[in-house]
A and B are shown apart, each in its own frame.
Chain A
């Protein structure tokens, strides 16, 4: 199932700098996108979401950008903190269709002090 893809398995940034995590999707029916963060031995924790009618949503240090024409979304974390080190999953759903989430592979973010 390649409908949601995160091409970077890992990303390393310095504390205080910007982290940019990317996600691509192929299913044009997707109309709701989410980012989750996951620590080892825990379940995914919801971070931020965006509806397809928007191109940006911001919540504190986290901003998600959606480019529908490119079928691409990104998560920006500014400034990055060591506590942000985790696996970040992009997920997508079709809200009229039961809203099952389709996940990407995840990107391991490491923020170095």
Chain B
């Protein structure tokens, strides 16, 4: 069964460093998402992406964040200058059409020291 994959599974970085989290969505999916879950808190929406542009972003998704689909398979989330409060599980999700269930990857645990 096709699945969303994410790399790395765990990323440790120093505050102020740039990180890139990578996702490979399911191949025939057209809508892509990033969510995060800070330890002990809810899963929160960050951004949605369709047709090579951001379709919606939350108030969390400030200028420090960017997303890109550099080729036909990868979908990346970049955090330019990480802060301690960026430490969280980051989940990528995708789906075929504009509605319906989203399929989630296993997540990347980001630890900012």
Chain A positions within 8 Å of B, measured between CB atoms, are: 1, 32, 34, 36, 41-46, 49, 89, 91, 93, 95, 97-106
Contacts and interface: CB of A to CB of B under 8 A. Distances in A.
B101 A44 contact: no
B4 interface: yes
Contacts of A45: 104
B25 interface: no
Interface residues of B, number: 25
B104 A100 contact: no
Contact of A89 (B43, B44, B45, B99): B43
A49 to B, nearest CB: 6
A98 B48 contact: yes
Interface string B16-50: 00000000000000010101000000111100100
Contacts of A44: 43, 91, 104
A113 B100 CA distance: 34
